[in-house]
Structure 1
Amino acid sequence: MKKIGVVGIPGGWSTLRLLDALESRTGYRLCIDMAEVRLDLETGKAFYQGTDLTSLDGLIVKKIAPSYTPDALDRMEILRFLRSGGLPVFSDPDSMFRLIDRLSGTAVLRRGGIPMPPTEITEDVDEAAAVVARFGRAVFKPLYSSKARGMTVIEDGPEAHEEIADYQAAGNRVMYIQKMVSHAGGHLDLGVSFLGGEYLATYARQGSGNSWDTTTRTGGRYVPHTPSTEIIDLAHKAQSLFPGMAFTCVDVVETPSGAAIYEVSAFGGFRGLLDACGIDAAAVYADYVLENIR
């Protein structure tokens, strides 16, 4: 019997689905809250509620924390340490580490030649105001966030400088500023999903029309979508820049001037694949991990 632990959020929907899938296949169930993990650097072991994690056959990281913060990087360091000692971890903590920090992930994508909406970074409010003036309308994105949490749209105008200063004062010292791009063919963002580096399926997030973003948090919904070969190839190239990503989703936007990538997900989402495509991602992910551990 293989013993696979799931790093996730106790009671979280996707964490529970993955736990159920693994238990049905192995008879073993362990949800690991990283807030309660103790790492012993002397022995190289880590413990969670009395369980030595290095005694397991592997770990799947479904969610490192309820929300992204720099603290999540410290948790990821523990997983990097365990993997370097021989414990199989899915996905590779080195790649997940770079994807948790939006700026780090963006830098890898741009250096890899991946098209993205125009993006600029600064700590200076005056420089940020100049960027907004050039863009006309910009999305300010926290370096650590998901599902558009904490994102703000600022338009060029007499209030822009004050809005930018307020945004920075709210805890966003480094400002990640991305030009607002128009969508081609409807208010859709695509989630192009991959398992073990191979294309799995695509779902779309369709905006409600009541918000600038398409997330389900603001009323968007998941709908089926069949992308072009070009989009699949672009998303495949983007995720391949992060080796060892066992399960991930690439956020793609179709603009009048062509497809662009927003980001590659550190963990990937189960809900969109289930609701839009009828794919039980937890089940296929569990099968993939068990096969690769064997």
Structure 2
Amino acid sequence: MIYIVPKPTDTPDDNSTGQVIHELEKAGAAYRILDLDDVDPLKSGLAHEVIWACGIRQNGHHFETLNVLSLENRVVNTPESIVTCACKVMTSALLIRHGVPTPTTLFTSSPDRAHAFIGEYGKAVYKPLYGFDGNGIRLVTDGGDLGEPPWYLQEYVWNDRDFRVFVIDGEAVGAIERVSDSLTHNIHQGGIGRPVEIDEEMRSVTEAAATAIGIDYCGVDLLRDGDGYTVLEVNGTPNWHCMAAPIPRLLAAFLMEKEREMRA
């Protein structure tokens, strides 16, 4: 049995969970919807099952419930990797540790360090620690624009587009280019996406990023940096808007494979 935690942000017109369920049904796979708000993880009765969290609410109850369920079940993605992706500082730390290209980054509560960083680069990109969908990201050119500490700042890499690459089980399987006139090219912020081919460097960088995080599947966001790519972030509950690759079918196949492994 595959237990499915639906993405809270699904809508009738944008139903990520439903797309994968459709593929599971076509394949004859058994599944059941799991409502984390209605589960006592200490008495769930679930053991040796596959649980797919298409998305969770950013609250302690959902995370802790999923975390406890992961003790006796195979949770995709793991709670640890979802939280790592949600925390930009930890994501940056793992990318740096594993030698994955990423913009120069500063995390600090020191005004002096923050002002020096902005002065060195002339401008910096401020990002909320736990933001999503491009919300709250802005360009700062003066320390007085920072607001309250702590601050997560990245060097500004000029661009007119970015890329999202979908990685499943360590393999890059689909990519889009997102273009907009704004600082962020996220589709939720008005970006326009179209499918693109995955070149070899894009493949190498995104697969290395997924490995560094230790995640089953993800969306890796990239910018061109000179002749190569640099990783902006890794998304643990990604959408696959505009991708030509059959992501729902590939995700369904991955879940069925994990379920077979549990039964072996």
TM-score by length of 2: 0.87
Q: How does 1:121-140 map to 2 (within 5 A)?
A: 121-140=107-126
CA drift at 1:26: 4.2
- Match runs of 1:110-259 below 5 Å: 110-155=96-141, 160-165=142-147, 168=148, 173-183=149-159, 187-207=160-180, 209=181, 211-243=182-214, 245-256=215-226, 258-259=228-229
Offset at residue 7 of structure 1 (A): 4.2
Q: Aligned residues, how many? A: 257
Identity of aligned residues (%): 22
Q: Distance in 2 between matches of 1:7 and 1:83?
A: 17
Partner deviation per Cα, 1:48-77 (whole Å, 9 max, x = no partner): xxxx5x168321111112xxx5x35x6334
- Pairwise CA distance, 1:122: 0.9
Match of 1:49 in 2: none
| Alpha-carbon displacement from aligned partner over 1:158-195 (angstroms, at most 9, x marks no partner) | xx233213xx2xxxx32100111013xxx221112111
With a CA cutoff of 8 Å and minimum separation of 6, indicate the structure with the bigger relative contact order: 2
Q: 1:57 and 2:49 equivalent?
A: yes
3-state secondary structure, aligned to 1:241 = helix
Deviation beyond 6 Å, 4+ runs, structure 1: none
Q: Which of 283, 288, 291 lines up with 2:249 in the alignment?
A: 283
C-alpha change, 1:257 and 1:288, in structure 2 (3 Å) is: closer
When residues 241 and 10 of structure 1 are mapped into structure 2, their CA distance, relative to the original with a 3 A threshold, is closer
CA deviations 1:109-151 (Å, max 9, x no partner) are 1111111111101113343222211121111101111121111
**1:191 aligns to what SS in structure 2?**
strand
Contact 1:7–1:63 (CA under 8 A) maintained in structure 2:
yes
Alpha-carbon spacing, 1:15–1:56, altered in 2? closer, same or farther (3 Å): farther
Shift of 1:16: 2.6
CA distance in 2 between partners of 1:34 and 1:18 (Å): 19
How much has 1:93 moved relative to structure 2?
A: 2.5
Instruction: Summarize the Cα distance change of 1:272–1:36 in structure 2 as closer, same or farther, 3 Å threshold.
Output: farther
Tell me which residue corresponds to 2:233. Answer: 263
Give the 3-state SS of the residue equivalent to 2:91 in structure 1: helix
Contact 1:203 1:222 in 2 (8 A): yes
**What secondary structure sits across from 2:81 in the alignment?**
helix
Q: Distance in 2 between matches of 1:31 and 1:117?
A: 39
Partner amino acid for 1:189? D
Q: SS state of the match for residue 176, structure 2?
A: strand
Task: Give 3-state SS (helix, strand or coil) of 2:213's partner.
Answer: coil
* Mean Cα deviation higher: 121-130 or 191-200: 121-130
Rounded to whole Å, the distance in 2 between the matches of 1:272 and 1:63 is 19
TM-score, length basis structure 1 = 0.79
- Contact 1:189/1:251 (8 A) holds in 2: yes
Q: Unaligned regions of 5+ residues in structure 1, if any?
A: 47-51
**Quick one: which of 93, 105, 116 aligns to 1:107?**
93
Cα distance in 2 for partners of 1:191, 1:61 equals: 20
